[in-house]
């Protein structure tokens, strides 16, 4: 099997993969801390990064276990004058991390990565890494589509607890680069780099930056380093070229590579990181959504990222590439990654293949002070982590008023969402924000509406005939705008609709929207009718069809759970793209 570096957007050459077999235990009686389980062999085995609830973990236990333990012994050399970062791409929900019996970190948040400097705790020979993980049925924690009850219900599915993304060791020098955010400045043909160093960094040394396009040299800089962080401005123009810059778009997903090399005072290489970015800009002008200063019509597919055998964890990285390739083959130019922060390779493949992405925070479901703290932490960590991916054009902090059920009138909940909107704009002014996708939006730069009642021209005209009336009424039995907001002529998108199922898949527990199609002929006819209606409405700036695949009891995908299309890809392409 090919060995994939866990974060392709922040690549180091020297690393150790920690996936595979770990010792494992349930701690339902909460005895592990008192019993120092981090220092003892555990009775079960689990295949990391798969969760105990899924088949690929080797356990496949769907019952509720709120406290888990992991333990792994590894042989390591002596890392002289090196730092070692113990890295996790995702542990759901709260992780206490131990190295050789010492607790080295506590991390809260099930969808975001974290990295721990651990060289001070390692030794030559056998080392032990252990985790205690808590994942309670607490609805104030961002959980997305994971159930908080005993059984699946509605559109909520089997939970994923514990380690569910990659675990690895990164080996660097004692001085190293902690992060690099790259802000494309299309109109000025610049890229602005914001480089972070750890607090222990001396600030004495040199940083060499090399900018490449398709392997060809574009620019090189060498500069004195600064403590904590520094800002660098790079010209990206290519002399003697017809196109002096190369923009990223679905049609031409051009990417620039950046190699960052950090040297100490003596001139020795301490760290080298390779990342990339795209020269891409999104804006709204005269009621139109623009990509790189040109109108773009968004043809999105809603993607929840579940697999029968592995739940939220992709069975392998190629499965992510396959899903995106199928979406593009069916005529879509973008994906709304719904209620999930996906594996980093998803965003890498979207960057490379040319698919726009709406990145959506998994929802909590209990408005409270804890929820406010959890959402702010997880959303800002997500933006920091995914910032460089040009595919991401929209952040979605809330969906359908989940966790903010009284936002239509409740001033506190309105302030919460508007506060998150402004915080995200301060962190990332170059992307759109759909503050509460679907309805009851307290602030908007475009209007994003969910409507599963549309099925033909008559039903569409009845609701959507008068756009301003629609925006001030209830197309899905919820007001489009909260009472603190008013329509200002912004673009309008239909960001959830469809969800048609086939009769052969529907049971008492398996469902789609508005009744199933009797057979494939009726299925294609209904899809065609809906898309004919949508494409005839020139007032829309795009759509997002529900959904890419069936997910457990929700059998309304264009693909079955094993990714078999419900009709030919050519037919889907004709339905969703040919007329655009």
Whether pLDDT at 239 is above 80: no
CA angle at 197 for the pair 192 and 198, rounded to the nearest 5°: 155
**DSSP-based three-state secondary structure for 285:** strand
Give residue-wise pLDDT tens across range 446-466: 999 999 999 889 989 988 988
User: What would the mean pLDDT of 132-146 be, rounded to a whole number?
Assistant: 97
Question: Cα–Cα distance between 469 and 467 in angstroms, integer?
Answer: 5
**DSSP-based three-state secondary structure for 99:** strand
* pLDDT of 1: 46
Q: Which residues have a Cβ under 8 Å from the Cβ of 145 and sit 6 or more positions away?
A: 155, 156, 157, 304, 306, 338, 339, 340, 362, 551
Whether pLDDT at 241 is above 80: no
* pLDDT of 580: 47
Share of the chain above pLDDT 90, in %: 91
User: Could you please report the per-residue DSSP string of 141-196?
Assistant: S--TTB-SSSS-BTTBB----EE-S-EEEEEEESS---EEEEEEETTTTEEEEEEE
Give residue-wise pLDDT tens across range 477-522: 899 999 999 998 999 999 999 999 999 999 988 889 988 999 999 9
Question: Cα–Cα distance between 316 and 2 in angstroms, integer?
Answer: 10
Give residue-wise pLDDT tens across range 390-400: 999 999 999 99
Q: What's the pTM?
A: 0.96
SS3 readout for 22-74: EEEEECCCCCCCCCCHHHCCCCEEEEECCCCCCHHHCCCCCCCCCEEEEEEEE
Question: Cα–Cα distance between 249 and 356 in angstroms, integer?
Answer: 8
* pLDDT of 535: 94
The CA distances from residue 301 to 427, 455, 517, 572, 579, in Å, are: 27, 18, 20, 12, 17
User: Could you please report the per-residue DSSP string of 305-352?
Assistant: --BTTTBTS-SSHHHHHHHHHHHHHTT-SEEEETT----HHHHHHHHH
DSSP 8-state symbol, 361 = P
Whether pLDDT at 438 is above 80: yes
The CA distances from residue 484 to 183, 366, 408, 414, 415, in Å, are: 32, 22, 8, 8, 10
* CB-neighbour burial class of residue 477 (10 A; exposed 0-12, middle 13-18, buried 19+): exposed
User: What would the mean pLDDT of 432-438 be, rounded to a whole number?
Assistant: 98
Whether pLDDT at 299 is above 80: yes
Contact 468, 320 (CB under 8 A): no
- Give the number of other Cβ atoms within 10 Å of residue 488's Cβ: 9
The pLDDT mean for the chain works out to 95
Q: Which domains does the chain have, with CATH numbers?
A: 15-173 (2.60.120.260), 179-277 (2.60.40.10), 290-576 (3.20.20.80)
């Amino acid at each position: 099997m090919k060995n994939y570096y866990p974060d392709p957007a922040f690549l180091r050459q020297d690393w150790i993969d920690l996936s595979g077999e770990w010792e494992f235990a349930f701690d339902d009686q909460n005895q592990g801390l008192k019993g120092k389980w981090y220092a003892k062999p555990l009775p079960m085995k689990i295949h990391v990064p798969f969760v105990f609830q899924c088949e690929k973990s080797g356990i496949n236990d769907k019952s509720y276990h709120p406290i888990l333990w992991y333990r792994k012994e590894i042989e390591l050399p002596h890392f002289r004058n090196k730092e070692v970062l113990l890295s996790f791409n995702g542990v759901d929900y709260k992780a206490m991390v131990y190295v050789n019996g010492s607790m080295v970190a506590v991390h809260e948040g099930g969808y975001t990565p974290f990295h721990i400097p651990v060289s001070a705790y390692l030794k030559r020979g056998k080392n032990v890494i252990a985790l205690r993980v808590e994942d309670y049925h607490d609805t104030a924690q961002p959980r997305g589509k994971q159930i908080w009850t005993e059984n699946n219900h509605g559109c909520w599915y089997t939970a994923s607890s514990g380690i569910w993304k990659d675990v690895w060791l990164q080996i660097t020098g004692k001085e190293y680069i902690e992060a690099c955010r790259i802000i494309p400045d299309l109109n000025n043909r610049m890229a602005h780099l914001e480089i972070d160093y750890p607090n222990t960094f001396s600030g004495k040394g040199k940083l060499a930056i090399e900018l490449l396009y398709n392997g060809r040299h574009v620019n090189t800089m060498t500069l004195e380093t600064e403590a904590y962080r520094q800002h660098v401005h790079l010209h990206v123009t290519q002399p003697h070229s017809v196109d002096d810059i190369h923009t990223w778009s679905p049609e031409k997903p051009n990417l620039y590579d950046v190699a960052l090399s950090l040297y100490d005072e003596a001139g020795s290489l301490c760290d080298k990181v390779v990342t990339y970015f795209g020269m891409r800009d999104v804006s709204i002008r005269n009621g139109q959504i623009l990509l790189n200063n040109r109108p773009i019509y968004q043809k999105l597919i809603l993607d929840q990222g579940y697999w029968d055998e592995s739940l939220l964890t992709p069975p392998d990285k190629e499965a992510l590439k396959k899903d995106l390739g199928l979406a593009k083959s069916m005529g879509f130019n973008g994906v709304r990654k719904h209620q999930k922060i996906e594996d980093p390779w998803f965003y890498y493949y979207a960057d490379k293949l040319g698919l726009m992405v709406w990145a959506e925070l998994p929802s909590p479901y209990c408005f409270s002070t804890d929820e406010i703290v959890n959402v702010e932490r997880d959303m800002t960590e997500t933006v920091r982590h995914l910032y460089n991916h040009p595919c991401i054009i929209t952040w979605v902090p809330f969906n359908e008023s989940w966790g903010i059920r009284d936002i239509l009138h409740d001033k506190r909940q309105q302030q919460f969402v508007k506060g998150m909107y402004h915080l995200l704009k301060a962190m990332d002014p170059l992307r759109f924000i759909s503050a509460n996708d679907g309805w009851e939006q307290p602030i908007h730069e475009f209007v994003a509406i969910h409507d599963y009642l549309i099925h033909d021209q008559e039903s569409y005209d009845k609701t959507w005939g008068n756009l301003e009336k629609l925006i001030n009424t209830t197309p899905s039995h919820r007001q489009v705008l909260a009472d603190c907001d008013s329509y200002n002529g912004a673009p309008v998108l239909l960001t959830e609709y469809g969800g048609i199922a086939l009769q052969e898949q529907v049971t008492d527990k398996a469902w789609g929207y508005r009744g199933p199609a009797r057979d494939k002929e009726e299925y294609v006819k209904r899809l065609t009718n809906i898309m004919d209606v949508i494409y005839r409405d020139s007032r829309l700036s795009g759509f997002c069809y529900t959904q890419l695949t069936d997910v457990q009891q929700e059998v309304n995908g264009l693909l079955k759970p094993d990714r078999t299309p419900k009709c030919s890809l050519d037919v889907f392409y004709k339905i969703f793209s040919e007329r655009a």
